[in-house]
Structure 1
Amino acid sequence: MIDPDQHFPPELSSFVGRAEELATLTAAVTPGRVLSLVGPGGCGKTRLALRACAALADSWPDGIRWIGLADERDADDVTRAIASALGLPLPVDSVYMLAQELISRNILLVIDNCEHLREPIAGIVSAILARCPGVGVLATSRVPLDLPGERVHRLSALNLADALELFLDRAGSENVGADALAAARRVCDRLDRLPLALELAAGWAGTLSMAQLADSLRDPFALLDDDTGRTPFRQATLTASMRWSHDLLDQDERELFRRLGVFEPGFAAQAITGLAERMDVPVQRYLRALRGLIAKSLVSADTTGPVARYRMLGVVRDYALLRLEEAQETAVLRGLHLELMLALVENLAPLLDSDKDEWRTRLTAEYPNVRAAIEWGLDRAEPKGRRLAAAVAWLWHLGTHAADGVRLLEHAAVQGNGARDETHARVLLAQALVADTALAGPTSYEKACTAAKLAEELGLVDVDLLARTLIAIGTIGFDLDRTRIEASAVHADAQRAGDGFVTDATRALIGLVHLLRDEHREAIEQLEPAVTGLLRRGDRAIASSALGWLALATAYSGALGRAIELAEQAVSTATPLRDFHRIALARTALAEILLWAGRSEAARAALAPIDRLVEGAQTPPFVPGWERVHALLELDAGRPVEAVSWCRREGRWRQPPSDDQLTPWTRLVLARALRESAAAADSADLLDRLSATPLTRALPSLHAAVLEQRALLAPDTEQEMRMHHEALRIRDEHGLVLACADSLVALAAVALRRESFETAGLLFGAAERARADAGSVVRVDIPDDPRLLEYLEHGRTTSLRETIGYITRARGKRTRPDSGWESLTPTERSVVELAASGLTNPEIAARLFISRGTVKTHLAHVYAKLGIANRTELARLAPD
């Protein structure tokens, strides 16, 4: 099937002939094989491949994908183009990921214009076919790919009937007399029945008669520069026909033709108008010349999109560049091309703060020309080349052609080394911005520090603000206090300067610091307006991250339904970027929140697109939390051994691997998995080491979770209780609703072992209600004991706040012994005094502002601690 969302080159004219070759071609395209359609430029390879796609539309259940490579330069470009055609993000190990995506699909990849990238294409196609038996490949190229098992179909000249039909169709002369028809046959023969040459000749049918056309083509080869005889026959024919057609152009058409050669395939009308203005030529003259070149098939016009775009076929452009060199205009036109691209990018710059989506879309369409202009400028140490490279940095930061960005900005920085000017400051900032997403390590931080210093010296406020934002980001891994201070200062300065992006970005960063410190209310207060601003200006990259952080803060605060909505929005925001890491982070956050809500199957589904790409890769990209969430899913399914394996996968790229190299949260899950897989000693050892790290104490939720895990391994009940109460205190202080419910369950289990059924029932019931109120369907594992039933119902009607208050008061100071009068809490002592004085349970409840059930629970605790059975014994033992 032809996917309507896929972009196939438009067929701007009717398809003529090639019926037998089309039938042969469609029969030869099969899964697991490469068929290369080979022939010289202008012989119709692309058109025939497009026809084959239409004929094969129903033969490939998973569709046909078109990958055009005319504008691409290297192996990274090839993988990016294939990933784009498949609708995939680009991860690090991209060739492997492509194979993973295609491994079970029955799909045809059509790769057009392969000759200039034959070696990388061969490697990529081999890797795909080695793992994907259902994938077929149809390639068009001037030369074979030289792959094992490759079938090569060499495209021959049109037969005379087809050539004549094509020529007359393009000439608009279907009904001609016998003399004109004979002349048309001579034209076809003299042009070797080559489609492009015939179209070029047909372009003159409105100016010359058929007889004149045939006569002017009587000896086309006399026009050739190459008289060595070494030029292949059809290439010589095409060159001759282009020379012939070129020589018939008027002066304006010849001038525009050669000058358009500096544009990479694909340019808009503004390129022609901008060129006219800079060459001091009336714009209308060049627009008329453009129409003439289109009519004569030297330029094609694609009007199917929102903006008309124009291009020359590769062989035609090569000829135009020869004529440009012959006119000694190459350097001048390359310089003008650089000026045009710089003006284009600088004119688009306001969109960076108002609609970054639109900026990215428009710049991506012009990227081949922009890249060529930067390369030409840098090769000649032209300052405008450095300015243009700096101005494109956001595109590279967003993951589009990031390798180009690293390479070109390094070249630009070397050229400006030692300079103390604005251009060098912007180049340094651009390097920091691209390194933030494209390079691991401290490069971004270091370049940002240098850029900020130079910007302050030169008074470049916008450079200074963004550089300082990147500095603050660079500190988040080792100094949260500094991150908050730096981000807050930049935020205030950005507000004063009216820099909307930096204002929102630093607010999101401050929100992240609050999230990491378990200050979730403050995190939400910062992240909500940050997300609104970022989305308003189409800043998907940072907005998707901020939405993920907001979702987590909301989930920790106990609103799982809203958190899931935010996490799903993070995924949908990141997806159009096709940035593997942004998408993977959003999906991992969504999966974790779904798991907290008890929706494990939905959590697995959220991770599935990432799993499919990453699973089994030799060097899969690191996605924070991906392995840990998988481990949690295994624990949820009762498979602790598999959970251990998942946790340790996180450190697979470390040599030698060590549990202490895992992230703290993964070590925590690993400790639980070890305990549940009967490796309690290993679990305790890991928890002891984790407890000793400064980070554990600095992050409240981590500290509380470690205490909870250690409590489950405690040697005695009192120590276990003490750790659970401390974990509950920390969680309550930081509003960790679901975690508080976990603490109540743990304390209820201890109470049940001590046969304090009222306390156990109260805590179990309250935990169940707290989870339900938060939106979780995770059931509390309550033992089937009839002695709990009465108290369970009471707990289910008690709020989390009331329950925590009750259990905290009941615990009292943690320095008390386990039994005797000294073990009683202050509340228990008050209950004893009132009970000994003869008050009933309802009267005690009214006096102490607690429920009757709570009075009964306190008395049960008192009896257990004092070793007595009833009020009578209590009255005898009570001190005066």
Structure 2
Amino acid sequence: MGTGAAAGTFAGLGGFDAELTPLIGRRADTARIARLLSGARLVTLSGTGGVGKTRLALRVAADAARSAFPDGVYVAELADLRDPELLASSVLGTLDVANPGHPGADPAAVLAARLRERRALLVLDNCEHLVDACARLTDALLRAAPGLRVLATSRQPLGIAGEQVFPVEPLPVPDARAGHGLRDLNGNPAVALFVDRAAAVLPGFTLTRPDAAAVAELVRRLDGLPFAIELAAARIRSLTPQEILERLTDRFALLTGGSSVAADRQRTLRALIDWSHELCTGRERLLWARASVFRGGFDLESLERVCADAELPPAALLDALDGLVARSIVNCRHVRGRSRYHMLETVREYGHQRLAASNSLDALRGRHRDRYAELTARAGREWFGPRQVDWFTRLRLDHPNLRAALGFCLERPGQARAGLALAVSPRHYWMTAGLLSEGRHWLSQLLAADHAQDGGDGDSRGDGATGPETAVRVHARVTDTYLRILQGDPDADVRQALAACEAAAEQGGHRRESAWVWHHHGILAVWREDYASAAELFARARTEFRALGCLDAALECRVKFAIAHACGGEAAVAEEACGEVEAAARTHGESWLHGMALLARALLALRADAPADATTHARAAIARLRPFQDWWDVAMCVEVIAWSTRNDPRRTARLLGVLHLLWESLGGRLGAAPFMRTQHLRLDATVREALGAAAFDREFRRGARATVDEAMAHVLDDPAGVPGLTKRESQVAELVAEGLTNKDIAARLTIAQRTAENHVERILGKLGLASRTQLAVWTYEQRGGPARGPRRRGLAERSPAD
């Protein structure tokens, strides 16, 4: 172990080295830390390596040196100090005290004496490898010097009384679901950091439209970790953003070349993570590697099932997990009253490489697959009941783990059959979660792999050439075909697929799958508006499901029976069926089928030309269906509401835009509900004629460009969410309507001109408008006043950035 002392920095009254690069995206953090420091005597900035703790601490200290600490701010850099016995003398050196006094004097006592009467700030930087020693020294100094404040940075809190821990998070990254507009991306802290550091090595570099998507994905893949982003930006000398992104498959080889004056551990991404790894105990390192098989997060029960064994028993695993959380290797948050853990992707990938090197990767991935096969099977068994929403939420949280488990089954020979069982266990998941395309991807890939690996259980075409297929294969094929139906695949193709499924089910004696085939034929009959045949097919499937004891499937057929009769005008029969489903749903605490029954009632009211009742039922259905993210059936409800609001053409046009957003997000089209296509197209034409093309397009864009929450606000007629303007954005819209420029608005609201510009751009985007003049007209219309232009001449010619 090294014995050299740190070269501590004397800061005095603000004598800090000048910052060589700007601190980006941390203004709110510096303000919060300063507030903490004004009330607490010890504040520790904790977080993973490379997150920017040191830069943040130095900025806070530099700001504080100007006013809050008249007797000085002292910075002790401890990264190179290895011997805890030298800690006090090293910190003493930062006070510019070369000699602790007389020979044999205790450096800690001398340090306490020097600080006793001072109102000073002591920064202890990089304490994680000396946590115990730093804790003892800090406690002694705070007790001896009442005017002293300590600001520490550490991957692990010091753990002493009075400590306030401030977790330093990675920089926010762009939302993967949002677009890649240059203004929004340039305002994102992680992107701004990349652009700033890239421009430092390649003068003139700016974010351009061709590079926008690659840069956004790059900073997302790097978890918003500042150190990793800076290393990636340094590669811009010789690689484009897209090329850097493509090479992130081995981020530790790519992200090297940090500052030549930095410590060795701060020159490469691997060295930075190596430092954290060295600080861990043997069991913590083992758990780090094993836990890397999880994607997106995990809970304690899953961690124990996958990672515990004789080498790492459950009690030791819990201690190791606690240590990894304390060292900022694993992050913990609480979801629905339960602890959930995750690692940054960079940290996870490091552990994954360690696991692969230990030759344990396949075994751990197999245990991981088994765990999620067990969970999905249990979710399938308990789906029909009071825990339905809980199970859906759990599966959505663990969706990355499901993907990883399914991927393992595809990659490893002989595992496709297990993958099929995993993919079909939560039968409703792909439908209710709106993951139609992804469900089809996994099912088709696994069916093909299983056929290639087939040892004689039949082929994937269901032609009976080699004997009957297993139930799981037939189940997978039937489910895949249903997803194709919901996405509006050509009728002839799905009919052929259903015929093959029916033959395979009959040959194998798989009665449940035969019943599902009849159900799916019923859906096709609804599509072609043959409601009588549809009702017969649903009734036939229901009878078989009841005989098999499948109550949930029988009720699903019953609610589809109700929908068929509602569309066909058989109101009394449909009402009776809806009542049966609702009563059973209430008895069993079920939500999803209850929502479907309410949709059937909405269709009944629409058919009876009772728009108010139709809207009421459709909104009630959405309230049941939305927690499942069942956007397909939500879209059906929105179709009903749009038709019911046809006397308000502006609102209807917005709802048509929302429908475009929903159908497009599902990977389908209006043809996915062809029995409503004629009505939809007629409504579109009527509203377009009533508003005129320009006004229709403007309102349609408002709906189509909305976020999910804004779209649902349009649907549910929630004024606070239509069109989703914040209070400040509403103020800005009013000032634009008064004819103020961005500079005027900035002065009026006491904000930066750039902030005002961003507000205007965001408002125009939310409202689907193209100019300030259109915004002014819209604002006056919202007030209920005359649609008139802004007061100032020439404003119509101004750009949004003026």
TM-score (norm 2): 0.51
Q: Which amino acid aligns with 2:283?
A: D
Q: Is the 8 A contact 2:255 2:269 kept in 1?
A: no
Does the alignment pair 1:147 with 2:207? yes
Separation in structure 1 between the aligned mates of residue 55 and residue 496 of structure 2, nearest angstrom = 53
SS in 2 for 1:301: strand
Please tell me whether the aligned partners of residues 287 and 320 of structure 2 are also in contact (alpha carbons under 8 angstroms). Answer: yes
Structure 1's 372 and 133: CA in aligned 2 closer, same or farther, altered over 3 A? Answer: closer
1:44 aligns to 2:45 (yes or no): no
Specify the structure having the higher radius of gyration (Cα). Answer: 1
Q: Distance in 1 between matches of 2:184 and 2:486?
A: 35
Distance across 1 between alignment mates of 2:212 and 2:522: 56
Aligned to 1:777: none
- Shift of the 257–576 alpha-carbon distance from structure 1 to 2, 3 Å rule, reads closer
Number of the residue aligned with 1:723: none
Shift in alpha-carbon separation, 1:607–1:463, aligned structure 2, 3 A = farther
Task: String of CA shifts for 1:615-666, please: whole Å, max 9, x gaps.
Answer: 9x9999427333323455678x7x8x989x99xx9xxxxxxxxxxxxxxxxx
Q: 1:495 aligns with which of 540, 546, 551?
A: 546
- Correspondence for 1:521 among 567, 572, 588: 572
Greater mean deviation of Cα atoms: 499-508 or 470-479 = 470-479
List per-residue Cα deviations over 1:354-399 (Å, max 9, x = no partner): 2432222110000101101101111113132222122255322224
- The amino acid of 1:626's aligned partner reads H
Q: 1:283 aligns with which of 298, 314, 329?
A: 314
> Cα distance, 1:525 vs. partner?
1.8
Write out per-residue CA displacement over residues 682-728 of structure 1, whole angstroms, 9 at most, x where no aligned residue.
xxxxxxxxxxxxxxxxxxxxxxxxxxxxxxxxxxxxxxxxxxxxxxx
Amino acid of the structure 2 residue aligned with 1:385: G
Distance 1:620 1:227 in 2: 41
**CA gap 1:630/1:404 in 2 versus in 1, 3 angstroms:** closer
Letter of the 2:420 partner, please give it: R
Whole-Å separation in 2 of the counterparts to 1:228 and 1:138: 22
Counterpart amino acid of 2:377? Answer: E
- 2:403 maps to 1:364: no
**Quick check: 1:548–1:567 contact (8 Å CA) kept in 2?**
yes
Secondary structure of the 1:272 match is helix
Structure 1 residue 268, shift from structure 2 partner: 0.8
From 584, 600, 604, the counterpart of 1:553: 604
Determine which of 402, 409, 417 is the counterpart of 2:443: 409
Q: Distance in 2 between matches of 1:587 and 1:485?
A: 27
Letter in 1 for 2:353: L
Contact 2:615 2:640 in 1 (8 A): no
Aligned residue type for 1:394: H
Q: Which residue of 1 aligns with 2:91?
A: none
1:341 is aligned to 2:372: yes
User: Given the alignment of the two structures, is residue 626 of structure 1 paired with residue 689 of structure 2, yes or no?
Assistant: no
1:709-720 matches, cutoff 5 A:
none
Q: Report the CA distance shift for 1:495/1:576 in structure 2 as closer, same or farther (over 3 A).
A: same
Cα displacement string for residues 454-500 of structure 1 (whole angstroms, at most 9, x for unaligned residues): 33444444433333312221233344443222211111122232322
The change in CA–CA distance for 1:20 and 1:467 in structure 2 (over 3 A counts) is farther
The equivalent of 1:572 in structure 2 is: 623
Distance in 2 (CA, whole Å) between partners of 1:112 and 1:471 is: 48
Tell me whether 1:589 sits opposite 2:628 in the alignment: no
Distance 2:560 2:255 in 1: 68
Q: For structure 1, which segment, 541-550 or 429-438, has the greater mean C-alpha deviation from structure 2 after superposition? A: 541-550
Which residue identity is paired with 1:584? Answer: A
Cα distance in 1 for partners of 2:381, 2:306 equals 23
- CA–CA separation in structure 2 for the residues paired with 1:558 and 1:194: 62
Partner of 1:470: 520
Instruction: Measure, in 2, the Cα distance between the counterparts of 1:362 and 1:308.
Output: 13
| Percent of residue pairs bearing the same amino acid type | 20
Question: Match of 1:387?
Answer: 421
Give the letter aligned to residue 681 of structure 2.
E
Q: Please, which of 268, 271, 285 is the counterpart of residue 240 of structure 1? A: 271
Distance 1:351 1:621, change over 3 A: same
- The answer to whether 1:484 aligns with 2:535 is yes
Quote the residue 2:722 is aligned against: none
Distance change (3 Å), C-alpha of 1:262 and 1:300: same
Which amino acid counterpart does residue 489 of structure 2 have in structure 1?
A: A
Q: Give, in angstroms, the shift of residue 26 of structure 1.
A: 7.5
Q: Structure 1 residues 620, 269: CA separation in 2 closer, same or farther (over 3 Å shift)?
A: closer
Partner residue, 2:93: none
Q: Distance in 2 between matches of 1:527 and 1:226?
A: 59
User: CA 1:606–1:290 in structure 2 vs 1: closer, same or farther (change >3 Å)?
Assistant: same
* CA distance, structure 2, for counterparts of residue 316 and residue 371 of structure 1: 20
1:414/1:585 CA distance change after superposition, 3 Å: same
Q: Distance in 2 between matches of 1:610 and 1:226?
A: 48
In the other structure, the counterpart of 1:672 is none
Residues 1:271 and 2:302 aligned together = yes
One-letter amino acid of the structure 2 residue matched with residue 502 of structure 1: A
Alpha carbons 1:508, 1:531 under 8 Å: kept: no
Q: Could you tell me whether the CA contact under 8 Å between 1:339 and 1:384 is conserved in 2? A: no
Q: Distance in 2 between matches of 1:537 and 1:629?
A: 39
User: SS of 1:416's equivalent?
Assistant: helix
Tell me if structure 1 keeps the 8 A contact 2:562–2:574: yes
Residue 450, structure 1, aligned to residue 500, structure 2: yes
The Cα of 1:413 is off from its aligned counterpart by 1.0
2:768 paired residue number? none
After superposition, the Cα gap between the structure-2 partners of 1:293 and 1:570, relative to the gap in structure 1 and judged at 3 Å, is: closer
2-side partners of 1:489 and 1:322: how far apart? Answer: 54
Q: 1:567 is matched by which residue type in structure 2? A: A
CA distance, structure 1, for counterparts of residue 489 and residue 372 of structure 2: 31
Deviations 1:814-867 (A, max 9, x none): xxxxxxxxxxxxxxxxxxxxxxxxxxxxxxxxxxxxxxxxxxxxxxxxxxxxxx
For the residue of structure 1 that corresponds to 2:332, the secondary structure is strand
1:422 maps to 471
Q: Structure 1 residues 255 and 620, CA, compared in 2 at 3 Å: closer, same or farther?
A: closer
Change (3 A) 1:272 1:134: closer
Number of equivalenced pairs: 476
Unmatched segments (≥5 aa) in structure 2: 1-16, 29-46, 60-169, 199-205, 216-225, 230-250, 260-264, 452-457, 460-468, 701-802
Q: 1:409 is aligned with what amino acid?
A: L
What does 1:97-176 align with in structure 2 at a 5 Å threshold?
112=172, 125-126=179-180, 128-129=181-182, 136-140=187-191, 147-148=207-208
CA contact (8 A) 1:397 1:436 kept: no
Q: Is the 8 A contact 2:575 2:601 kept in 1?
A: yes
Q: CA RMSD in A?
A: 4.9
Instruction: State how far apart, in whole Å, the 1-side matches of 2:631 and 2:254 are.
Output: 53
Measure the CA separation in 2 of the matches of 1:592 and 1:485.
Answer: 28
Contact 2:443–2:480 (Cα < 8 Å) also in 1: yes
Tell me the alpha carbon deviations over residues 200-256 of structure 1, each in whole angstroms, 9 at most, x when there is no partner. Answer: xxxxxxxxxxxxxxxxxxxxxxxxx99999654566455335434434543322222
Which amino acid in 1 is paired with 2:402?
V
Q: 277, 282, 288: which one pairs with 1:257? A: 288
Distance 1:465 1:266 in 2: 37
**2-side partners of 1:257 and 1:304: how far apart?**
22
Match of 2:559 in 1: 508
Return the offset for 1:316: 1.8
Q: Whole-Å Cα distance in 2 between the matches of residues 235 and 334 of structure 1?
A: 32
- The 1-side partners of 2:426 and 2:405 are apart by 12
**Amino acid paired to 1:148:** T
For residues 46 and 540 of structure 1, the distance between their equivalents in structure 2, rounded to whole angstroms, comes to 46
| Structure 1 residue 352 corresponds to structure 2 residue 359 | no
SS across alignment from 1:353: coil
Aligned twin of 1:314: 345
Note the alpha carbon deviations across 1:763-790, whole angstroms, 9 max, x for none: xxxxxxxxxxxxxxxxxxxxxxxxxxxx
Q: Structure 1 19/473 Cα, relative in aligned 2: closer, same or farther at 3 Å?
A: farther
